[in-house]
């Protein structure tokens, strides 16, 4: 019995017991459902073992949406708890756990996965490639991310959730103050999915540098591909810092070392330092792909080429370097002197300059353009003013002396949601709507999509703008309740109303998927948005080899040139296509990593050793495996192309 005691939740409540039952029932229902419809074989062959970048992208996006709802449920609970003074819906401990899991789930498992999912789906198509450079590695990245996400998500029903914030500062996160296994979960879940992300970074850099269609010089790449390249460079330089910091935290908590302790020569704020050395580049990892998506969408729906292509690329390159030079702005109040704070104040404000350049480029792209207000365009147009407000409040926070007033108040919370929601989340939803026909061969309903957009946009303003005011009035972040005398009540109620409206918006998006799946016409053609870049030069949905014939590229909007200026994209005849084989190894490897992480969280050494050896065995097996892929004969390509309505020539 004693062995099982460790899995008990330290602070149980009816809500948690209810979730346990709900999770159990859902898992059983899914298993029974798949078995009943005899879908195991299909699932295994077509999805779980796939190395196709498009399917991996779709799996990333599905996981991201699931995590969006998990994190969204946390958000609504927090807003409900703070909607009236002295509320007792959640106690302090539960509130701590909820804001921690909200932050971690949203950043690591929602936003990152969404970004990487869209990158997976779109980038190889935009550069005219058949897949990424290392398809098997790509599958491993996804499954490691998935294993990490699942490990993190079981924490609240098995052993207890982390409760030290998504920033996980020591000494609060040390064993002295966080006694449950929650923080171990944090360390291992992020470690495992972080390794996956790092491999994605390498994979995409190689893909973009080496696998572009003939003629596509670097300066002829579409803007989303450019933003992905820069993002992945930041990933490769930033993520190792997180890996090491997490490992040091693990050693402190599980082997009694003193990296982040306040005694024995440890430095507790060193965690904060390392966390933000990774953390600030991370916010740019999220926003740059979003910028890329907006660039594609704004230029498509303004029917104009992107204004200032070179300055767009240049400002992203500058951002990628500057993003590594500003991290101290997250702890201006730690107590260092004016010189240190001034240096990082200035670097931080400097970042606003290239960001501002991009804003003007988007505005000038729309200038005198023939704008079509489709759903993706609505998100993009709303992004510009809303994100600008977030950027301006960021510059306010960047003034070190003023930050003593704002730091860790709701003002800060309002700032980063103001950049992340209209910046990243809107971009993901816009991108998903935009590329949806590429993925599934039908369009999402515009009318429901617009309703969802307005709910999200208005809900966002109502939910977060009041926080600027309460923050300036002194409402601290992460405070689970407040007294009536503070006067924070009415504005917090408004925030809750905004959150509820946003929840309706997300529900409408789900309904839209269902509705469009049932009712939308399937004959949308290959280029339903009248777009400009290469991914629209093949069929909807995309055949698994992407392009029957490798395209020849002449500019950053090759498809537009072929439509309007008679440029010939496909110059060659059909030839055999070389494709990678599917493999079960990635999902097995990730399963082993899950067991490894889980055992480590609970100090179950036999489990750690056995799964550790099995992981090494998998790697060894892979080293000796011979797998040269397979070839699709010309006849089969012809048949597939016929099925899609005639060869593209």
Partner 1 sequence: MKELFPLKQVNGFVFSLLLTIIALSVYFLDMSFELGMTILLVTAFIQATVQLVVFMHAGESEDKRSIYTSTLYGIIIALFTVFGSLLAMVWGYL
Residues that bind ligand HEM (CB under 6 A): 167, 283, 286-287, 329-330, 348, 351-352, 355, 391, 394-395, 397-398, 403, 406-407, 412, 415-416, 419-420, 423-424
- Choosing from 56, 192, 208, 241, the residue that interacts with partner 1 (CB under 8 A) is 241
Q: Which of 337, 521, 566, 646 binds partner 1 (CB under 8 A)?
A: 337
CB closer to partner 1, 170 vs 331:
331
Q: Which does 406 bind (CB under 5 to 8 A by kind): partner 1, Cu ion, ligand HEM, none?
A: ligand HEM
In the complex, which residue's CB is closest to Cu ion?
A: 280
Among 98, 173, 328, 457, binds partner 1 (CB under 8 A): 328
Shorter beta-carbon distance to partner 1: residue 19 or 257: 257
Rule CB under 8 A: choose which of 336, 522, 571, 572 binds partner 1.
336
User: Which residue's CB is nearer to ligand HEM, number 279 or number 498?
Assistant: 279
Rounded Cα distance between 439 and 442, Å, is 8
Q: Which of 18, 21, 43, 334 is the binder for partner 1 (CB under 8 A)? A: 334
Query: Quick one: which of 630, 628, 594 has its CA closest to 611?
Result: 594
539 binds Cu ion (CB under 5 A): no
Element (H, E) at 56: helix 53-81
User: What does the buried/exposed string (b/e) look like for 502-521 if buried means 16 or more CB atoms within 10 Å of the residue's CB?
Assistant: bbebbebbeebbeebeeebe
Q: Is 280 in the site for Cu ion (CB under 5 A)?
A: yes
Exposure string of 138-152, with b = 16+ CB inside 10 Å and e = fewer, is bbbbbbbbbbbbbbb
Euclidean distance between CA atoms 104 and 148, whole angstroms: 11
Which token pair is 147? 């294993």
The Cβ of residue 6 has, within 10 Å, a number of other Cβ atoms equal to: 14
- The DSSP element (H or E) to which 630 belongs, if any, is strand 630-632
Per-residue burial over 427-442, b = 16 or more CB atoms within 10 Å of its CB, e = otherwise: bbbbbbbbbbbbbbbb
Q: According to the binding rule CB under 8 A, does residue 493 interact with partner 1?
A: no
41 binds partner 1 (CB under 8 A): no
Residue 635 CB contacts under 8 Å (≥ 6 apart), including other chains: none
| Nearer of residues 300 and 409 to ligand HEM, judged by Cβ | 409
For partner 1, give the closer residue by CB, 167 or 273: 273
The three-state secondary structure class of 135 is helix
Query: How far apart are alpha carbons 223 and 219 in whole angstroms?
Result: 9
Site for partner 1 in 131-190 (CB under 8 A): none
Residue 55 binding partner per list ligand HEM, Cu ion, partner 1, none, with a CB distance cut-off of 5 to 8 Å that depends on partner kind: none
3-state secondary structure of 468: helix
Give me the least distance between CB of 118 and ligand HEM, in Å please: 16
Token pair 């946009």 is at which residue? 457
Distance CA(546)–CA(214), nearest Å, equals: 16
Chain residues 267-286 in contact with partner 1, contact rule CB under 8 A: 267, 269-270, 273-274, 277
The interface partner of residue 340, options being ligand HEM, partner 1, Cu ion, none and the CB cut-off 5 to 8 Å by kind, is partner 1
> Residue 197's closest CA among 130, 117, 289?
117
Q: How many Å apart are CA 16 and CA 553, to the nearest integer?
A: 56
Q: Which one of 339, 485, 623, 628 is in contact with partner 1 (CB under 8 A)? A: 339
CB of 327 to Cu ion, least distance (A): 6
Which residue reads 């994979």 in tokens?
A: 203
Closer of 280 and 407 to Cu ion (Cβ): 280
Using the rule CB under 5 A, is 136 a contact of Cu ion? no
> Which partner in partner 1, Cu ion, ligand HEM, none is near 115 (CB below 5 to 8 A by kind)?
none
Residue number with CB closer to ligand HEM (170 or 547)? 170
Binding mask 181-210 for partner 1 (x = CB under 8 A): ----------------------------x-
Neighbouring C-beta atoms of residue 235, cutoff 10 Å: 24
**Residue pair 452/505 in contact by the 8 Å Cβ criterion:** yes
Nearest residue to 234 via CA among 200, 211, 210: 200
Q: Which residues of the shown chain bind partner 1 in the complex (CB under 8 A)?
A: 209, 237, 241, 267, 269-270, 273-274, 277, 321, 324-325, 327-328, 331, 334-337, 339-340, 343
Which residues contact Cu ion (rule: CB under 5 A)? 280
């Amino acid at each position: 019995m004693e062995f099982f005691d460790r899995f008990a939740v330290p602070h149980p409540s009816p809500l948690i017991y209810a979730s346990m039952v709900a999770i159990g029932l859902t898992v059983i229902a899914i298993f029974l459902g798949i078995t009943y419809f005899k879908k195991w074989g299909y699932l295994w062959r077509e999805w779980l073992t796939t190395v196709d970048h498009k399917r991996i992208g779709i799996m990333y996006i599905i996981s991201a949406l699931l995590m969006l709802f998990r994190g969204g449920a946390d958000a609504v609970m927090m807003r409900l708890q703070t909607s009236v003074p002295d509320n007792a819906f959640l106690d302090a401990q539960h509130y701590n756990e909820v804001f921690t899991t909200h932050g971690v789930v949203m950043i690591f498992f929602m936003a990152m996965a969404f970004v990487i999912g869209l990158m997976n789906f779109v980038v190889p198509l935009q550069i005219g490639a058949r897949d990424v450079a290392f398809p098997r590695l790509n599958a491993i990245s996804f499954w490691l991310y998935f294993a990490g996400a699942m490990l993190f998500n079981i924490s609240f029903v098995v052993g207890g959730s982390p409760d030290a914030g998504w920033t996980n500062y020591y000494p609060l996160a040390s064993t002295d103050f966080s006694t449950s296994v929650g923080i171990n979960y944090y360390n291992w879940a992020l470690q495992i999915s972080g390794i996956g992300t790092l491999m994605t970074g390498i994979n995409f850099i190689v893909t973009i540098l080496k696998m572009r269609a003939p003629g596509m010089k670097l300066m002829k790449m579409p803007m989303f591909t450019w933003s992905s390249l820069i993002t992945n460079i930041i990933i490769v330089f930033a993520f190792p810092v997180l890996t090491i910091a997490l490992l040091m935290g693990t050693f402190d908590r599980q082997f009694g070392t003193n990296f982040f302790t306040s005694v024995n020569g440890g430095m507790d704020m060193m965690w904060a330092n390392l966390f933000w050395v990774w953390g600030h580049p991370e916010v740019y990892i999220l926003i740059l792909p979003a910028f890329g998506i907006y660039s594609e969408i704004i230029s498509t729906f303004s029917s104009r080429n992107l204004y200032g292509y070179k300055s767009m690329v240049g400002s992203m390159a500058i951002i990628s370097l500057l993003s590594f030079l500003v991290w101290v702005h997250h702890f201006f109040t730690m107590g260092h002197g004016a010189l240190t704070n001034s240096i990082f104040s200035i670097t931080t404000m400097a970042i606003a300059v290239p960001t501002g350049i991009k804003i003007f480029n988007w505005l000038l792209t729309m200038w005198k353009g023939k704008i079509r207000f489709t759903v993706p365009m609505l998100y993009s147009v709303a992004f510009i003013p809303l994100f600008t407000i977030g950027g301006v409040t960021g510059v306010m926070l960047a003034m070190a002396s003023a930050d003593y007033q704002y730091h860790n108040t709701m003002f800060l919370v309002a700032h980063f949601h103001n950049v992340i929601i209209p910046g990243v989340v809107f971009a993901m939803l816009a991108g998903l709507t935009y590329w949806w026909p590429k993925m599934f061969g039908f369009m999402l309903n515009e009318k429901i999509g617009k309703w969802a957009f307005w709910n999200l946009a208005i809900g966002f303003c109502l939910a977060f703008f009041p926080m600027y005011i309460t923050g300036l009035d002194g409402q601290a972040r992460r405070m689970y309740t407040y007294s009536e005398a503070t006067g924070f009540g009415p504005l917090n109620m408004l925030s809750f109303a905004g959150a509820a409206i946003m929840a309706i918006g997300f529900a409408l998006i789900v309904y839209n998927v269902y509705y469009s799946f049932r009712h939308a016409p399937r004959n949308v053609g290959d280029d339903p948005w009248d777009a400009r870049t290469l991914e629209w030069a093949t069929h909807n949905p995309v055949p698994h080899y992407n392009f029957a014939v490798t395209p020849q590229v002449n500019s950053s909007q090759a498809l537009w040139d072929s439509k309007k200026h008679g440029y010939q994209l496909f110059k060659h005849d059909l030839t055999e296509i070389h494709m990678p084989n599917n493999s079960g190894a990635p999902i097995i490897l990730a399963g082993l990593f899950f067991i490894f992480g889980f055992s480590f969280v609970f100090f179950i050494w036999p489990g750690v050793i056995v799964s550790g050896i099995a992981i090494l065995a998998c790697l060894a097996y892979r080293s000796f495996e011979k797998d040269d892929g397979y070839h699709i004969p010309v006849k089969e390509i012809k048949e597939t192309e016929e099925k899609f309505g005639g060869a593209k020539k």
